[in-house]
């Protein structure tokens, strides 16, 4: 007996040494606090499967974290256990391990002790251990042997996994669960044991799906399932009848579409790319700051996550999956444009989880059906998805108007077969420098967008030699699809046979989802040093300020963000004003011009237009303070009621363009918070009777700060006024919508050419188009019977209100330019782009 006991001790010592040498556990949540465990109660850990490797790995984790270990004995009244660990499944067999159907004897003994002693309490802590985090799939025997999956392997496989994947092990430590409540709820011990086991099985199943993904089929199997689905088979029949082709030809076409679309996810490739991307980020960036990501692991349990980020750069495709991988979460399947399916590059992207879609599905119902089923299959299997609601990268720094296609497919898929709750996760990306920055400026200036090619991709790699500052990634408030469906479509019906491709409720649901996603992204914005510098310096005539004045304006901007917060999820740089200036200079964006009266800080000439991009990233955060400041440009005194009236005229259109969170009803309260900060900082003062707000006198420091602050909203208001001025100059019923959009673009381009506007988006056609949409929605203008734009005398009142917001030179410049579209008259200097 002592001989076997000695061998047992030697085996444990060897296992402990092997574990210490090979295992480097990553703990989730990263901020797990051992104080959650009640030191006064008996503690047992729960592992999903029995095995020496998992138990010794848990022992290592406990030593590192200062927690009681699983190999200790537990002695308490009614309890006498050799170890403080119990297994949900016991594995049997020397070589080929199979789970036993018998429930844990130790769990049964714990329940029995609790039944016998009403004063006893026991806490259990589930710990899920994953070695390598590779989703289960039909792959080669070698990958199955080495990767963590949904199957149970043998002892040899476990040894190899620990040796090769031990440094990638992920430990999810759960919240302590007290057994007393469950035991008391059940009349007998056997039922209590089954209930606790059922709760633990559900916990481990959710954690496994959230960490390694669902049990995936091989790509070929998935394609076969798509082709066999009823909607695709029905569309194949329609195609062969419509085009007079054979069944095999129509099926082959559908198969080509499926292969063109489908990802070919490879866990081993993801592990390699994690190291490559880690090297790349260290080379390119000074750091990646993640905000509000701590709740993601919990959110992933039991929910199907759809990540919906802003789209600033091609780097987005790589950055979010990398971050999620480091959080211990499954790498999502990422929707990418078919233009990125380049030779070699496309194959690599597919291996990392990218699936491809065409820019338009119009006129190709078979392709549309195949894509919808591919998306639906992945959603139903529980694999996380990532797609860009904007449809493409923003060239201006603003969020683009959302595209409804993928949102509609997601909503229909869930409505037809709801399995797990679908949760949309808005994600904000903020960069201090853009790899594509110069290309964006060229495209905004009129140069056609270059088609993606392999040569272009290699050329882009050469551009990655510089330093690009920091990257900010903030996670927004989750949006639950079921909640939106309930609110927007209370009487909705199921599409039982799938023939009603676009049910009546869908448009309202998609519109509301898009609104919440876009406002959710903006509500999680990150304000970095470059954003603040751009916001301020672009508001000055020569893109320069005295250093002390710039520091004070930065402090004012930060005070507004902190004391009248746009959203609790907005993150703000912790650097001081002087440190922000130093940071901008280190990125080559600023120059310092020494002077006896104080140094002058200026934007470097080549950076001015690009800085408009970074200003636009956070323009929505300053929209309301800027609008209030605009109202005092030509009005030395206003009552709060008149100020609110003026703000309400512009707010609906600003809200639609910038995806602002406050509704018309919420505007007054938000304005009151901003006004309090203005008064505290000396930008406004209350008259003695508190009935009027008074701006500082001309030439004062407060007046200068107010002028700089007003600039943010001014270009928007100028565009609005330009559109209305063009309508008024031509008359009601004279212009079609296309005519008006064309005239707006020409007028804005003309003014920008004359006066060197710093904002390339000043003449962006989509901004005029969206403003006209809002005018039509609100009934300010309408489409006449002959397809032209009509209006009534109420539109003339806009000119009177514009006198308070826009200076006389600005209004005259716009009026001259709009009249010049008919008579080619010379325009006066455009104050908005010539220093204001």
631 shares a domain with 555: no
Q: What is the pLDDT of residues 526-568, one digit of tens each?
A: 999 999 999 999 999 889 999 999 999 999 999 999 999 999 9
Residues with Cβ < 8 Å from 461, sequence gap 6 or more? Answer: none
Instruction: Examine the domain organization and report whether 828 and 742 are in the same domain.
Output: yes
pLDDT digits (tens, 9 = 90+) for 92-120: 555 455 566 677 889 999 999 999 998 89
Cβ neighbours, 10 Å, residue 349:
21
The span from the CA of 667 to the CA of 675, in Å, is 12
Q: How far is Cα 777 from Cα 782, in angstroms, rounded to an integer?
A: 9
**In this structure, is the dihedral angle defined by the CA atoms of residues 518, 523, 526 and 530, taken in order, positive or negative?**
positive
Residue carrying the six token digits 């893109």: 543
Q: For the segment 231-255, what is each residue's pLDDT rounded down to a tens digit?
A: 999 999 999 999 999 999 999 999 9
Q: How many CB atoms lie within 10 A of CB 556?
A: 23
- Burial label for 793, CB within 10 Å (0-12, 13-18, 19+), is exposed
Whether residue 543 sits in one domain with residue 424: no
SS3 for 366-420 is HHHHHHHHHHHHHHHHCCCEECCCCCCCCCCCCCCCCCCHHHHHHHHHHHHCCCC
Side-chain-side CA neighbours of 596 within 13 Å: the count stands at 0
User: Which residues on neighbouring strands pair with residue 309, listed in sequence order?
Assistant: 427
Question: In the structure encoding, which two tokens stand for residue 660, read together?
Answer: 């602002």
| Region 224-236 average pLDDT | 93
The answer to the question of residue 287 being in a domain is no
Name the one residue in this structure whose structure tokens are 């700060």: 705
* Partner residues linked to 602 by β-bridges: 544, 591
3-state helix, strand, coil in the chain (%, to 5): 55, 15, 35
Residue 758 is predicted with a pLDDT of 56
> Would you state the pLDDT for residue 794?
83
CB proximity list for 139: less than 8 A, separation 6 or greater = 147, 218
Q: Is residue 660 in some structural domain?
A: yes
What phi, psi does 430 have (nearest 5°)? -130, 125
Residue 256, in any domain of the structure: no
Q: Quick one: which H or E segment has residue 138?
A: none
Last residue within a domain, chosen from 192, 212, 232: 212
Would the pLDDT of 3 be above 50? no
The yes-or-no verdict on residue 319 having pLDDT over 90 is yes
In a domain, 222, yes or no: no
Do residue 404 and residue 391 come from a single domain? yes
pTM for the full predicted model: 0.80
CB 333 within 8 A of CB 371: no
Residue 370 near residue 257 (C-beta atoms within 8 A):
yes
* 313-318 long-range Cβ contacts below 8 angstroms, 24+ apart: 313/393, 313/429, 313/431, 313/434, 313/435, 313/436, 314/340, 314/393, 314/435, 314/436, 314/460, 315/431, 315/435, 315/471, 316/388, 316/429, 317/349, 317/354, 318/277, 318/352
Q: Could you tell me if 607 and 637 lie in one domain? A: no
* Domain identity same for 597 and 726: no
Q: Please spell the DSSP secondary structure of 753-821, one letter per residue.
A: HHHT-S-GGGG-HHHHHHHHHHHHHTTSSEE-TTSBEE--GGGGHHHHHHHHHS-HHHHHHHHHHHHHH
Residue identified by tokens 């799906």 is 209
End-to-end CA separation in angstroms for the chain:
94
> Which has the higher per-residue pLDDT, 323 or 301?
323
pLDDT in tens, 55-97: 888 888 888 888 999 989 999 888 899 999 998 887 655 545 5
Best CA proximity match to 716, nearest among 670, 666, 664, 655: 655
Domain boundary among 586, 617, 648: 617
**Is the confidence at residue 671, as pLDDT, over 80?**
yes
Is 598 in a helix, a strand, or coil?
coil
Whether residue 240 lies inside any domain: the answer is: no
Domain boundary among 558, 588, 617: 617
Identify which of 472, 533, 88, 530 has the alpha carbon closest to the alpha carbon of residue 316.
472
815 and 707 together in one domain = yes
Is-contact 77 39, C-beta < 8 A? no
- For residue 586 the two structure tokens come to 């280190």
| CA gap 460, 727 in Å, rounded | 44
Write the CATH number for 595: 1.10.10.10
- 634 and 804 Cβ atoms separated by less than 8 Å: yes
Other C-beta atoms closer than 10 Å to the C-beta of 152 total 17
Q: Tell me what the mean pLDDT of segment 747-761 comes to.
A: 69
Mean pLDDT of 465-473: 87
- Out of 12-21, 137-146, 462-471, 658-667, the most confident range is 658-667
Query: CATH number for the domain including 404?
Result: 3.40.1130
566 and 687 in a common domain: no
**What does each C-alpha distance from 461 to 279, 441, 452 come to in angstroms?**
14, 19, 13
Across the strands, what pairs with 788? 736
Pairing of strands 304-309, 422-431: parallel
Pairing of strands 590-593, 571-572: unpaired
Residue span of the structural domain in which 277 resides:
267-281+292-359+375-497+505-518
- Torsion (CA) 783, 789, 792, 798 in degrees, nearest 10: 120
**Mean pLDDT rounded to a whole number for the chain:** 84
User: How many other C-beta atoms can be found within 10 angstroms of the C-beta atom of residue 364?
Assistant: 16
* Residue 687, both tokens: 């008259």
> Is residue 397 in a domain?
yes
Question: Given pLDDT bands bounded at 50, 70 and 90, which one contains residue 756?
Answer: low
**With 0-12 CB in 10 A as exposed, 13-18 as middle and 19+ as buried, what is 387?**
buried
Is 218 a domain residue? no
Which candidate, 237, 228, 231, 230, places its Cα nearest to that of 255? 228
Under 8 Å CB-to-CB from 411, ≥6 apart: which residues?
A: 481, 485, 506, 509, 510, 513
**pLDDT over 80 at 342, yes or no:** yes
pLDDT band for 143, please (50, 70, 90 cuts). Answer: very low
CA distance 88 to 204: 9
Q: Are residues 727 and 757 in the same domain?
A: yes
Residue 434 pLDDT > 80? yes
**Which comes out higher in pLDDT, residue 611 or 309?**
309
The encoded tokens of residue 534 equal 């751009």
d(CA 229, CA 597): 76
Q: In total, how many domains does the chain have? A: 4
DSSP 8-state symbol, 826: P
Residues 636 and 581 in one domain: no
What pLDDT is recorded for position 35? 77
Residue of 25, 11, 248, 1 lying closest to 133 (CA atoms): 25
Backbone angles phi, psi at 597, to 5 degrees: -90, 5
Q: Which of 171-175, 454-458, 574-578, 779-783 has the lowest mean pLDDT?
A: 454-458
The C-alpha atoms of residue 661 and residue 12 are separated, in whole angstroms, by 59
253 in any annotated domain? no
Compute the C-alpha angle 316/318/319, nearest 5°.
65
Confirm if 133 and 263 have CB atoms less than 8 A apart. no
Is the same domain home to 208 and 129? yes
- Same-domain pairing of 300 and 405: yes
> C-alpha dihedral over 297, 301, 303, 307, to 10 degrees?
20
Tens-digit pLDDT profile for residues 267-303: 778 888 888 899 999 988 999 999 999 889 889 888 9
368 neighbors 231 (Cβ within 8 angstroms): no
Taking residues 26-33, report their average pLDDT.
77
The pair of structure tokens assigned to 387 is 């797609």
| pLDDT above 90: residue 509 | yes
């Amino acid at each position: 007996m002592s001989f076997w006991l000695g061998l047992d001790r030697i085996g444990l010592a060897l296992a402990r040494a092997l574990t210490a040498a090979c295992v480097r556990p990553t703990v989730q949540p990263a901020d797990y606090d051992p104080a959650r465990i009640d030191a006064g109660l008996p503690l047992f850990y729960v592992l999903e499967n029995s095995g020496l490797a998992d138990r010794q790995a848990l022992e290592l984790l406990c030593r590192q974290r200062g927690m009681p270990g699983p190999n200790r004995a537990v002695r308490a009244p009614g309890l006498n256990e050799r170890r403080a660990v119990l297994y949900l499944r016991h594995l049997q067999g020397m070589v080929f391990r199979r789970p036993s159907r018998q429930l844990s004897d130790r769990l049964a003994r714990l329940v029995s002790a609790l039944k016998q002693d009403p004063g006893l309490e026991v806490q259990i802590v589930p710990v899920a251990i994953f070695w390598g985090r590779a989703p289960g799939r039909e792959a080669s025997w070698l990958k199955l042997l080495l990767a963590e999956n949904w199957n149970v392997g043998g002892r040899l496989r476990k040894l190899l996994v620990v040796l090769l994947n031990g440094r990638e092990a992920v430990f999810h430590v759960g919240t302590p669960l007290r057994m007393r409540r469950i035991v008391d709820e059940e009349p007998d011990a056997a039922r209590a044991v089954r209930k606790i086991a059922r709760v633990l099985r559900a916990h481990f199943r959710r954690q496994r799906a959230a960490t390694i993904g669902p049990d995936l089929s091989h790509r070929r199997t998935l394609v076969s399932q798509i082709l066999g689905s009823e909607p695709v088979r029905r569309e194949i029949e329609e195609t062969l009848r419509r085009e007079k082709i054979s069944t095999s030809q129509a099926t082959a076409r559908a198969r080509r579409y499926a292969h063109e679309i489908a990802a070919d996810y490879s866990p081993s490739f993801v592990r390699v790319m994690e190291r490559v991307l880690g090297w790349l980020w260290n080379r390119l960036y000074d750091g990646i700051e993640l905000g509000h990501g701590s709740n993601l692991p919990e959110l992933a349990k039991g929910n199907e996550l759809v990540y919906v980020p802003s789209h600033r750069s091609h780097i987005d495709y790589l950055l979010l999956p990398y971050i999620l991988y480091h959080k211990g979460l499954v790498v999502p399947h990422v929707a990418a444009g078919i233009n990125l399916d380049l030779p070699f590059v496309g194959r690599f992207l597919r291996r990392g989880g990218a699936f491809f879609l065409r820019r338009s599905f119009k006129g190709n119902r078979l392709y549309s059906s195949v894509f919808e089923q591919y998306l639906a299959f992945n959603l139903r299997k529980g694999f996380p998805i990532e797609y860009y609601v904007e449809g493409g990268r923003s060239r201006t720094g603003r969020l683009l108007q959302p595209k409804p296609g993928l949102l509609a497919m997601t909503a229909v898929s869930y409505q037809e077969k709801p399995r797990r709750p679908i949760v949309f996760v808005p994600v904000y990306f903020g960069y201090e420098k853009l790899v594509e920055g110069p290309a964006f400026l060229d495209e905004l200036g009129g140069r056609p967008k270059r088609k993606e090619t392999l040569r272009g991709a290699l050329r882009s790699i050469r551009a990655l030699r510089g330093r690009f500052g920091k990257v900010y990634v903030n996670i927004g408030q989750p949006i639950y699809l079921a909640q939106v469906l309930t609110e927007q479509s209370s009487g909705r019906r199921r599409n039982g046979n799938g023939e009603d491709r676009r049910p009546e409720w869908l448009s309202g649901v998609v519109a509301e989802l898009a609104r919440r996603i876009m406002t959710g992204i903006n509500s999680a914005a990150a304000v970095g040093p470059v954003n603040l510098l751009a916001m301020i310096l672009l508001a000055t005539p020569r893109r320069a300020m005295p250093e002390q004045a710039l520091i004070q304006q930065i402090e004012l901007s930060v005070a507004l963000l902190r004391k009248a917060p746009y959203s609790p999820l907005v993150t703000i740089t912790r650097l001081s004003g002087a440190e922000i200036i130093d940071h901008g200079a280190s990125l080559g964006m600023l120059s310092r011009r020494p002077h006896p009266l104080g140094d002058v800080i200026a934007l470097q000439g080549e950076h001015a237009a690009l800085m408009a991009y970074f200003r636009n990233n956070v323009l929505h955060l300053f929209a309301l303070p800027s609008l209030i400041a605009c109202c005092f440009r030509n009005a030395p005194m206003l009552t709060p009621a008149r100020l609110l009236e003026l703000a309400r005229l512009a707010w609906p259109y600003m809200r639609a363009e910038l995806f602002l969170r406050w509704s018309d009803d919420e505007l007054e309260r938000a304005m009151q918070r901003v006004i309090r900060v203005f008064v505290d900082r000396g930008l406004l003062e209350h008259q003695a009777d508190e009935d009027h707000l008074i701006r500082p006198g001309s030439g004062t420091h407060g007046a200068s700060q107010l002028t700089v602050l007003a600039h943010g909203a001014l270009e928007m208001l100028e565009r609005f006024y330009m559109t209305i001025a063009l309508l008024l100059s031509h008359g009601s019923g004279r212009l079609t919508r296309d005519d008006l959009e064309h005239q707006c673009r020409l007028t804005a381009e003309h003014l920008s050419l004359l006066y060197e506007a710093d904002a390339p988006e000043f003449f962006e056609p989509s901004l005029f188009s969206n403003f006209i949409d809002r005018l039509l929605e609100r009934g300010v203008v309408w489409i006449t019977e002959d397809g032209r734009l009509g209006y009534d005398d109420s539109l003339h009142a806009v000119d009177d209100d514009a006198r308070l917001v826009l200076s006389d030179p600005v209004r005259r410049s716009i009026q001259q330019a709009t009249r010049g579209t008919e008579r080619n008259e010379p325009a006066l200097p455009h104050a908005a782009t010539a220093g204001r």
